Structure 1
Amino acid sequence: MIISEEVSEELAVEAGSTLVVDGDNARVSEVYKYPVDGRRAELEYAVLLPTIDTSHFDQCWAATWPVPDNIASLVRTAIAVDAASDSQVDIGQLNSALGPSFDGEELLRGRITSAAPLVALGGTFVIAAGGVIRRRTELASALHAGVRRVDLLAQLLVESCLTLIIGASVAVAVATAATADRNAADATSVLQSSAIILVGGLVGYLVGCLITSVTCVREAGLFRYFKEK
């Protein structure tokens, strides 16, 4: 016997207890929760008994995820072949509070974080550009001392890569920890989305660093940079 949480509270019984039903003892094997969240209410206060009865039932329930487009047709295959032609068949959802259908792909495209890769790209571009501008006195001094620009760019690239390796390691560790308790499919989707954001951040940082060092650092501006600093 399986009873709802409301029945359990009303009768003060729990899983493992025994109830007398029609003069016979019935063991409560499980207590199920049935929250009031928009779902049909007939199982909110109910007692369920598993059966091997092969006669006709008045309801057929189907649980599926994701929900196929032809779910209504599939459910109709449970209708008895000898049912009267004028029999009324109602098909509905257990819980329709969130609408009659679910378009996961559309919700994914319209999520608030869909622009996260672009935000990461733009944000890291600005951070990298700001870092180069703060160092332009140092960089212009190196050019004035005879360091070739290509060597200076190589130095900045190596420094940026080291910074990005540290940042990427932290991001991967956080994403892995956040998906540790999820199933494989969900974890894979979350990690893929995180990887796209991470790539956007890496590209933005490298591009911001290189473009700013080329366009905003001039040997001729060394003394101006020094005065502004």
Structure 2
Amino acid sequence: MPTKEITNGLPSVLGAQVRGDGGMVVSDELAKELNVGPLAVDRNQGIATAHGTAKVDGTYDYPADGRRAGFAYGLLSPVPAGGGAFDECWVRSWPPSPEMRMLIRLSLIPGAGEPNADPPVVSQLNTRKGTEFDGAARFEQRVTRFGAMAALAVGMVLGYFSVRSRRLELASAKHSGVTAATQRLQVGIEHAVVALMAWILAMPMIIYAARSAGLPDLPVMVVLGTKPVLVAAPAFIIGAIAGAATIREKQLFRYFSNR
């Protein structure tokens, strides 16, 4: 079976599940064929070879999703990094950095290759979805980029019509002597309390959704999820005050007739 010598850093690049006790790292496909069970069951499980039993330290998944072939069925044998030169140098970099293509060339040993050998190649392991990733452009083109603007519009509309639905009550209050400024202050305070309660209820759901996504940038996800709520809350209050400003005492009879 194909065996490749590696340094101790490659299993982490491949996302392998290892105990760290030392030993071979086996692909999932080969582990199934050799009946290598879960590592937590037997810490002494191994693979019989011509030179004895090779201890298995972990397994790694290598699906056929467009990545370079050659590792889906094989063994990886860790060796000391200073034991000699290697044919390849692997780097996990996210997000992809253009400078990485230059930095990885520092791993080359001048004059170590054969005279007629092919020149070194810097390539991506999986090019199925392209060789470049512009995170900033993708972020600006996301579907939810208009979420804050939509929340602003929805908040103002809800605030406006929530007050307009009480136009008979508010017009009657003005007829009883309540000033316009006092009434707008009252409406603003009432809707501020509603907005605060909505914000308190929304925050746990936003944090839960961000944590459920399993992404490393949890604070960023929470901030992005909070922006529509923070925009909608003042818009709701402003819409309510604007709605209160449109209610006239002289239209009390019409409000009463259309109730």
Q: TM-score range by the shorter chain?
A: over 0.9
List aligned pairs for 1:130-141, cutoff 5 A. Answer: 130-141=161-172
Residue 180 of structure 1: CA displacement? 4.1
Partner of 2:239: 208
Percent identity reads 29
**Offset from partner CA, 1:67-104 (integer Å, 9 cap, x none):** 22211111111111123576411111111122111111
Partner of 2:98: 69
Give, as a single letter, the amino acid of the residue that structure 2 aligns with 1:73. Answer: M
Using a 3 Å threshold, how does the CA distance of structure 1 residues 30 and 185 change in structure 2: closer, same or farther? closer
Aligned mates of 1:190, 1:77 — CA distance in 2? 36
Partner of 1:35: 63
List aligned pairs for 1:24-103, cutoff 5 A. Answer: 24-52=52-80, 54-84=83-113, 87-103=118-134
> Which shifted more, 15-24 or 126-135?
15-24
Aligned mates of 1:179, 1:167 — CA distance in 2? 18
List aligned pairs for 1:187-206, cutoff 5 A. Answer: 187-206=218-237
Q: SS in structure 1 opposite 2:90? A: coil
Residue pair 2:206, 2:226 contacting (<8 A) in 1 also: no
Residue pair 2:160, 2:240 contacting (<8 A) in 1 also: yes
Aligned mates of 1:97, 1:184 — CA distance in 2? 22
Aligned mates of 1:55, 1:155 — CA distance in 2? 79
Structure 1, unpaired ranges of 5+:
none
Residue 194 of structure 1: CA displacement? 2.1
Matched, 1:165 2:207: no
Q: SS in structure 2 opposite 1:42? A: coil
**Offset from partner CA, 1:87-136 (integer Å, 9 cap, x none):** 41111111112211111111111100000000111111111111111101
Residue 183 of structure 1: CA displacement? 8.1
**Offset from partner CA, 1:45-86 (integer Å, 9 cap, x none):** 111010015222111101122322211111111111123576
Aligned counterpart for 1:112 among listed residues 120, 143, 150: 143
Aligned mates of 2:101, 2:231 — CA distance in 1? 42
Aligned mates of 1:26, 1:78 — CA distance in 2? 30
Give, as a single letter, the amino acid of the residue that structure 2 aligns with 1:116. Answer: G
Using a 3 Å threshold, how does the CA distance of structure 1 residues 102 and 130 change in structure 2: closer, same or farther? same
Aligned mates of 2:186, 2:215 — CA distance in 1? 41
Aligned mates of 2:26, 2:180 — CA distance in 1? 77
Aligned mates of 2:213, 2:109 — CA distance in 1? 40
Q: SS in structure 2 opposite 1:30? A: strand
Give, as a single letter, the amino acid of the residue that structure 2 aligns with 1:44. Answer: A
Aligned mates of 1:36, 1:167 — CA distance in 2? 46
Matched, 1:10 2:33: yes
Q: SS in structure 2 opposite 1:83? A: coil
**Divergent runs of 4+, >3 A:** 83-87, 179-185
Aligned mates of 1:54, 1:170 — CA distance in 2? 59
Aligned mates of 2:36, 2:222 — CA distance in 1? 44
TM-score scaled by structure 1?
A: 0.93
Q: SS in structure 2 opposite 1:190? A: helix
**Offset from partner CA, 1:207-226 (integer Å, 9 cap, x none):** 111111112x1111111111
Residue pair 2:196, 2:233 contacting (<8 A) in 1 also: no
Structure 2, unpaired ranges of 5+:
1-23
Give, as a single letter, the amino acid of the residue that structure 2 aligns with 1:77. Answer: L
> Which shifted more, 179-188 or 12-21?
179-188
Residue 176 of structure 1: CA displacement? 2.2
